[in-house]
């Protein structure tokens, strides 16, 4: 079993190398990456736009792979933004889960 934190670091390192090989770092500001992320999220949402409920069973044949690729794009942009802003995504996610548990206690929802 792999360490999820190591997986995120691997993605970070691979996206850094990919951008460096193409001399794209100059364009990868947090603003530009956030804008690109919003486009990818919109492309993901587009697959569910006109479905009655948006459940997985309503997806057309072949859509699952396209959605998988859009999810990967979203994740990769998140990793890149976190890298530029020196945010530990794993730690931030764990912190947010704790904050949500306080905000929405089981006994009250």
Q: How many domains does the chain have?
A: 1
Confidence of residue 35 (pLDDT cuts 50, 70, 90): very high
Token reading at 11: 């993605």
Q: What is the CATH number of the domain that holds 54?
A: 1.10.287.1080
Residue 4 has what pLDDT?
67
Span 52-107, pLDDT tens digits: 999 999 999 889 999 999 999 999 999 999 999 999 999 999 999 999 999 999 99
Q: Which residues of 8-46 are buried (b: 16+ CB within 10 A; e: fewer)?
A: bbebbeebeeebeeeeeeeebeeebbeebbeebeeebee
Task: Work out the pLDDT band at 3, boundaries 50, 70, 90.
Answer: confident
* Cα distance between residue 70 and residue 39, in whole Å: 10
Dmax (CA) of the chain: 52
Name the residue with higher pLDDT: 94 or 1.
Answer: 94
Q: State which H helix or E strand residue 109 sits in.
A: none
- Which residue segment(s) compose the domain that 32 sits in? 4-108
């Amino acid at each position: 079993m792999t360490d999820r934190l190591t997986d995120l670091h691997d993605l970070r390192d691979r996206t850094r190398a990919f951008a460096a090989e193409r001399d794209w770092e100059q364009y990868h500001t947090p603003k530009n990456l956030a804008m690109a992320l919003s486009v990818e999220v919109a492309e993901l949402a587009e697959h569910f736009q006109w479905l009655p409920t948006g459940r997985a069973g309503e997806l057309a044949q072949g859509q699952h792979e396209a959605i998988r690729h859009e999810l990967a794009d979203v994740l990769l942009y998140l990793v890149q933004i976190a890298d530029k802003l020196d945010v530990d995504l794993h730690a931030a996610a764990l912190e947010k889960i704790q904050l949500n548990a306080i905000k929405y206690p089981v006994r009250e929802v």
